Structure 1
Amino acid sequence: MPVTIADVRAVAAGLPRSYEAIVRDRVKFRVGSIVWLAFNPEETEMGFAFPKEERAALVASEPEVFFMPRPSDMRFNWVECHLDQLDEERMRELVLDAWRMVVPQRLWPYAGN
């Protein structure tokens, strides 16, 4: 069953130091001032923190699921995906990995795995 923004919120909202913000009618999750997870206005696509050096391989391996960020965001550690192409397990893995990119490693055990 495809995931929704509500499913993602259920995972992201409980992560230490993470909080939700609305910026220009878009839902974003931050740790401090760092955006590590964001949705398009229609809430059908999710962008998330991901190593720049690995994103081309990810997109090439599953182009129906993942796609590159818009040109202005290419400088960031970021990639995007279609929510309806993810299942709950995959979404949880992506969200946790993205969060781990922006928090100190000592917080990882508190992610509620």
Structure 2
Amino acid sequence: MVTAADVRAVAMSLPRTSEHLIHDHVKFRVGKIVYVAISPDESTMGFGFPKEERAALIAAEPDKFAMPRLSDQRFHWVHARMAALSREEMRELVTDAWRMVIPKKIAAAHLDRQV
């Protein structure tokens, strides 16, 4: 099971990330763009994800992934049940969400150092 501390460790290792508490949600963002959010009860992680691919993701694993609330469906966003995620899967989702909001040059430089 993935915890908020696990998500925090991954997110804060990514360049230009800052952590904020907004309406009891822990949010990780680059500048003003949020790419990961954790619910107040730490059961759900919202993350940036391409809108055109989210229906397929949710259909493939409906016990793990869910649509965001209606008002957030206009954004590139999906929810995941943290208890259903492995640490490696969470790391990949957080990193991919971060890559959506960071300049490509910075993402490439950071990911090259990880290899």
Q: Which has the higher helix share?
A: 2
Query: Given the two structures, how large is their TM-score scaled by the length of structure 2?
Result: 0.94
Residue 94 of structure 1 corresponds to which residue in structure 2? 93
Q: CA deviation at 1:103?
A: 0.3
**RMSD between aligned alpha carbons?**
1.0
Residue 11 of structure 1 corresponds to which residue in structure 2? 10
Query: Structure 2: how far apart are the matches of 1:35 and 1:95?
Result: 11
Query: Given the two structures, how large is their TM-score scaled by the length of structure 1?
Result: 0.95
Q: CA deviation at 1:61?
A: 0.2
Counting matched residue pairs gives: 112
Identity of matched residues, %: 57
Q: CA deviation at 1:86?
A: 0.6
Runs of 4+ in 1 over 3 A off after TM superposition: none
Query: Which residue identity does 1:110 align to in structure 2?
Result: H
Residue 31 of structure 1 corresponds to which residue in structure 2? 30
Unaligned stretches of 5+ residues in structure 1: none
Secondary structure at the aligned position of 1:53 is classed as helix
Secondary structure at the aligned position of 2:93 is classed as helix
- Alpha-carbon displacement from aligned partner over 1:15-69 (angstroms, at most 9, x marks no partner): 1111100001110011111111001110110000000000000000000000000
